[in-house]
Amino acid sequence: MFKKIKQRSLEKQTEKHLEKRDDSQLNTPLKTIGFLIHEVHFKQGDLFYEFYKELTIQPKDIKVFSFLESKKKLPSLKQNQVYNKDFTWNGILQNQNAKEFLNTSFDVLVGYYKNSNPYLDYMVASSNAKFKVGLKNCNPDLYDLIIGVDIENIADFKTELIKYLIILKKI
């Protein structure tokens, strides 16, 4: 029962963030990029750090943050993870590292996950990113650009992302 309440609260919070979104800086050139991934579908988050070469930015300007449904029993030194337990029943995020990631004003934020996920959708909607990119089968209200590639094919995604960023004169 609490799971349903939490998900409905997250959906309401997502809608509120979408209503408040400022899209006046959509055309800002790319200097920083953030990736928000679901580790169940894509475990190789470190591959995103290699994008800096083609995006003509510094490696320090790429940030990757991941989401897991539940915390693993094994201790982890990763600071860039958020779990469903980090959200209260009324849809408030409690993870300080995740809040810092979302408050970062990325020029581009990529939501790299399959389908709709209330936790990740909330994070994308509440992000201060200027331009948001998602994958096919996601909520189109959250993103400015949706790329239609399979999540397992990172090479095709990289090619398409760079192609569209060039077309949009971000790089």
Domains identified in the chain and CATH numbers: 2-167 (3.40.50)
Each residue of 59-97: b (16+ CB within 10 Å) or e?
eeebbbbbbbeeeeeeeeeeeebbbbebbeeebebebee
Alpha carbon distance 127, 68 (integer Å) = 18
Q: Residue 34: which of 61, 70, 74 has the closest Cα?
A: 61
Name the band, by pLDDT with cuts 50, 70 and 90, for residue 24.
Answer: confident
Residue 122 is predicted with a pLDDT of 96
Name the pTM for this structure: 0.91
pLDDT tens digits, one per residue of 34-81: 999 998 877 777 788 889 888 989 999 999 999 988 766 554 556 789
Name the band, by pLDDT with cuts 50, 70 and 90, for residue 167.
Answer: very high
Alpha carbon distance 137, 141 (integer Å) = 12
Asked whether the predicted pLDDT for residue 1 surpasses 90, the reply is no
Which tokens belong to 159? Answer: 């090619």
How crowded is residue 26: how many other Cβ atoms within 10 Å of its Cβ?
A: 14
Measured over the CA atoms of residue 145, residue 150, residue 154 and residue 159, the dihedral's sign is negative
